[in-house]
Chains A and B, each alone.
Chain A
Amino acid sequence: MALIVVGPAAAAAAALGFRAVAVVRDATVIGALTAVTALSVALAVHVEREGTVVLEVGGWAPQLGIVLVADLFAVLVLAVATTTILVVEVFALGQRRGPWAGDATLVGPVLLLLTTGVSLALLTGDLFTLFVSFELILVASYVLLTHGGGAGQIRAGMTYVVINLAASTLFLLGIAWVYAATGTVDLALLSARIPELDDGVRAAIGAWFLVVFGTKAAVFPLFSWLPDSYPTAPTTITAVFAGLLTKIGVATMIRFHTMTGMDDLGPLLLAVAGATMVVGVLGALAQDDMKRILSFHIVSQIGYMVMGLGLFTVAGVAGAVLFLLHQIPIKTVLFLVGGLVERESGTSALDRVGGLGARRPMLAVLFALPALSLAGLPPLSGFVAKLALVDAGVASRSSLIVAVALGGSLLTLLSMVKIWLGVFWGPTAGGEGTATLAAPAGSARLMYGAAWVAVVGTLAVAAFAGPLWELSERAAEELLDPGRYRAEVLR
C-alpha cells in the first residue's frame, strides 16, 4: 500500500531526471502509472474480500505516527482515479503536437506527483497528512495549469492559486482549532472525540471544514474560480482536473463529515447542494464554448454528490459514492472529447465549429454516450447513479431537493443538446485550422483509443450497476459507522 503512495513520487523524480530523453521518460511515466493502477485494483479486490487494511507507517502506533487506512470507500475511489489518470496520460502521449498539448516533458512527471497526492489524500488516516496531500495535489495542479506561461494561463492561474491558498490557510487554522479542542489529528481518534465536544464547538468545526473542502470541491457559493481557470489549461490537463480534483474535495468531505457525525449539518448541506446544482447548470446554459459549458457542469454535478451526503442515510451516502465513481470517468472523457473537437476544428467555441457529426461520426458517438449519461438518461451510468440518489431522497422524505435534482437533470440535457447542435450538427463552419492541425495518424489512434477506453469504462459502470451499488452501500455503511473504523485502526 505504501508503494501506491511513494511509488509515483519516486518515478516522478526519475522521469524528471530523464526529461530530455523522451523514450525513457515516457516509459517511466506509463510504467509507473500502470503499476500503480494495477496495485490499486489489487488492493481494492483484497479490501473487498478481507476488509480494511491498516498500515502504520514506520511502525508507530496511530496515536504517535501516521496511519494509512484502506477502507472500501478509499480503495474504490482510488482504483477509479488511478485508472483515469493512466487513460489521460495515454491520451496526452497521442496529443504530443498542437497548441493544446502542453509541455510534454513536464506533464507526465507532474501527473505522477498528482497521483501521489491523490492516493495519499484517499488513504491517509490523519488530518494533517490530508493537508499535506492536498498541498501536493495543488502544487502539481498549479504547475500543470500555468506551465504554458501564456497570458491567459497566468491570469487564470493567479485566481486559482490565490483561492486555493486561502482554502489551505483556512484548513491549517482549522487543524490548529481541532487540535486545541481534541488534542489529536488522527481521524480514528477524532471520530470518537469530536462527537463528545460541546454542540457549538462541534458545529463550528463542521462548518469550518465544510468551507475548506467546499472550496476544493467548488460548491455554491465557493465555485466561481472553477469555470474561470479550468478551460484555459491544455485539454488533457483540464480532463484530469475535471475528473479528479473537485472529486477529491467531495470525497474528503464525505469522509470527514460522516466519520465525525455531523448529521445536524444535513439541512445546510442539502441547501448548498440544491443551489450548486441550479447555479451550475444555469451557468452552463449561458456559455457558448464547449469547454466552459462542461466546466460549469462540473460544478452542477458536485451538487448531486453533496445531496447524497446531506441526507446522512446509508442509501444517500451510497448514492453519493456511486455518483462519484460514475463522475470521475465521465467528466474526464467529456473533456477528452473536447480536446479531440479542438484538434479537428481548431477551436471549441460553439459558433465556430459545426458539422463535425458528418465529418467525424465516431467522435459524435464518443460525445453522445457520456453526454447522455451525464444528463441521466437510462440505461447509462448517470441514470443509475441519479436513480440511487433520488430514491434515497424520497426515502428520507426530502421532496424539495429531489425536485431540484430532477429539474437540474433536464437543464443538463438541454445544454448537452446545445453542444450537440453547435459542434456536431449544422453546416461546417469555415475550415480554418482543420488542415494545419493534422497530426500523425498513429497519435490520433492513441487519442481516440484512450477516449474509447474511458467511454467503455462508463458503460461498464452501467452494466455492473448491481454489484457496484452493493459495494457503494457497504462503503457507506462503513463510513456511517466510525466505530468499525476505530476498531480497525486502534487495534
Chain B
Amino acid sequence: MSLALVAAVAGLVAVGTYLATSRSLSRIVLGFSLLGHAAVLGLLAAGGRAGSPPLADRARADDLADPLPQALALTAIVISFGLTLFLLALAARQHALTGDDLVEDDVEDRRVARGGRPAPDPQARGQRRTPGGRPWTP
C-alpha cells in the first residue's frame, strides 16, 4: 500500500472535516465531496498494489489489480454524486427561503432551553420563523 495514497486520504479527511463543520451549506457540500474522495481513495488503497487492468482476456491472473475495491469505489462515487446534488438542492431551497444558506438553530429547542420565555430578540437569526414556517410571534 503506497504511503502517498494514505497521506492523501488523511489530508482529504482533514480538509473535508474542517469544511463540513462550517455553518454555510455550500462549504458543507464541498467538505463532503472531499470526504467522499477520501473514502474512495481509501477503498483503492485497500485493494493493495497496482496491477494490470482486471480484464479476463487481456491480462494474466497473477498481475491483475484487485477488481473488487474498484467496483466498490465506482458504486460509492455514484452514490456520493447523487447526494451532493441533493445537498445542493437543499442549499438552493434554503437560499430561496431565507436569502442565505446557513444551517439554523433548532427554534423549539432554544425555546425549551429558555424555559418557555420568549426570545430576547425576535429578529435574531434562526428565530424568525417557527418550524411550521409561520411568522414568529413572541
Contact A151 B20, CB 8 Å, known A128-B75, A135-B79, A176-B69: no
Contact A161 B131, CB 8 Å, known A176-B39, A176-B42, A176-B43: no
| Contact between B39 and A161, CB atoms less than 8 A apart | no
| Contact between B131 and A156, CB atoms less than 8 A apart | yes
Contact flags B73-113 to A (C-beta < 8 A → 1, else 0): 00110010011001100100110011000011011110010
| Contact between A158 and B94, CB atoms less than 8 A apart | yes
B52 on the A face (CB < 8 A)? no
B120 on the A face (CB < 8 A)? no
| Contact between B93 and A172, CB atoms less than 8 A apart | no
User: Among A2-10, A105-113, A282-290, which stretch is in contact with chain B?
Assistant: A282-290
| Contact between B39 and A172, CB atoms less than 8 A apart | yes
| Contact between A139 and B87, CB atoms less than 8 A apart | no
Residues of B within 8 A of A155 (CB): 94, 103-104, 106, 131
Residues of A within 8 A of B90 (CB): 146, 154, 157-158, 161
A275 on the B face (CB < 8 A)? no
Residues of B within 8 A of A289 (CB): 108
Q: Which residue of A lies closest to B115 (CB)?
A: A286
Nearest CB on B from A477, distance (A): 32
Q: Is the interface of A mostly helix, strand, loop or mixed?
A: helix
A300 to B102, CA, bound (A): 30
Nearest CB on A from B9, distance (A): 8
Nearest CB on B from A231, distance (A): 7
| Contact between B108 and A162, CB atoms less than 8 A apart | no
A194 to B40, CA, bound (A): 22
Contact flags B110-138 to A (C-beta < 8 A → 1, else 0): 00100010000000000001111100000
B72 on the A face (CB < 8 A)? yes
B45 on the A face (CB < 8 A)? yes
Residues of A within 8 A of B116 (CB): 288
A201 to B129, CA, bound (A): 48
Nearest CB on A from B95, distance (A): 10
Residues of B within 8 A of A139 (CB): 82-83, 86
Nearest CB on A from B8, distance (A): 13
Nearest CB on B from A333, distance (A): 23
- Point out which of A149, A152, A169 has the most chain B C-beta atoms below 10 A from its C-beta: A169
Q: Which residue of A lies closest to B86 (CB)?
A: A142
Residues of B within 8 A of A157 (CB): 90
| Contact between A173 and B32, CB atoms less than 8 A apart | no
Residues of A within 8 A of B39 (CB): 169, 172-173, 176
Scan residues 203-232 of chain A and give those whose CB is less than 8 A from a CB of chain B.
227-228, 231-232
B61 on the A face (CB < 8 A)? no
| Contact between B69 and A179, CB atoms less than 8 A apart | yes
Q: Which residue of A lies closest to B35 (CB)?
A: A169
Q: Which residue of B lies closest to A135 (CB)?
A: B79
Q: Which residue of A lies closest to B132 (CB)?
A: A152
A135 to B72, CA, bound (A): 14
A154 to B97, CA, bound (A): 9
Q: How many residues of B contact A (CB 8 A)?
A: 45
A177 on the B face (CB < 8 A)? yes
A145 to B83, CA, bound (A): 15
Scan residues 43-58 of chain B and give those whose CB is less than 8 A from a CB of chain A.
43, 45-48
A165 on the B face (CB < 8 A)? yes
| Contact between B129 and A152, CB atoms less than 8 A apart | yes
Scan residues 224-266 of chain A and give those whose CB is less than 8 A from a CB of chain B.
227-228, 231-232
| Contact between A180 and B1, CB atoms less than 8 A apart | yes
Contact flags A138-174 to B (C-beta < 8 A → 1, else 0): 0100100010011111111111011001101100110
A180 to B43, CA, bound (A): 8
Which residue of B46, B94, B108, B129 contacts A231 across the interface (Cβ within 8 Å)? Answer: B108
Residues of A within 8 A of B20 (CB): 162, 166
A292 on the B face (CB < 8 A)? yes
| Contact between B72 and A231, CB atoms less than 8 A apart | no
| Contact between B87 and A161, CB atoms less than 8 A apart | yes
Residues of B within 8 A of A185 (CB): 68, 72
Residues of A within 8 A of B86 (CB): 139, 142, 161
Q: Which residue of A lies closest to B79 (CB)?
A: A135
Which residue of B25, B46, B76, B130 contacts A152 across the interface (Cβ within 8 Å)? Answer: B130
| Contact between B43 and A175, CB atoms less than 8 A apart | yes
| Contact between B132 and A150, CB atoms less than 8 A apart | yes
Contact A165 B25, CB 8 Å, known A155-B103, A176-B46, A180-B1: no
A175 to B47, CA, bound (A): 11
Q: Which residue of A lies closest to B48 (CB)?
A: A180
| Contact between B1 and A132, CB atoms less than 8 A apart | no
For the complex of A and B, the 9 pairs showing the least CB-CB separation, nearest first, are A152-B131, A176-B42, A172-B39, A180-B46, A150-B133, A176-B46, A179-B46, A151-B133, A176-B43
Enumerate chain A interface residues (CB-CB to B < 8 A). 99, 128, 131-132, 135, 139, 142, 146, 149-159, 161-162, 165-166, 168-169, 172-173, 175-177, 179-180, 185, 227-228, 231-232, 286-289, 292
Enumerate chain B interface residues (CB-CB to A < 8 A). 1, 13, 20, 25, 28, 32, 35-36, 38-40, 42-43, 45-48, 68-69, 72, 75-76, 79, 82-83, 86-87, 90, 93-94, 97-98, 103-104, 106-109, 112, 116, 129-133
- Give 8 pairs: A residue, B residue, CB < 8 Å, sorted on A: A150-B131, A151-B97, A154-B93, A156-B106, A158-B103, A168-B83, A172-B76, A176-B69
Q: A161-B83, A176-B42 are in contact. List 17 more A-B contacts (CB 8 A).
A: A128-B72, A150-B132, A151-B133, A152-B133, A156-B106, A156-B131, A158-B90, A162-B32, A168-B83, A173-B13, A173-B42, A175-B43, A176-B45, A179-B43, A180-B45, A185-B68, A228-B109
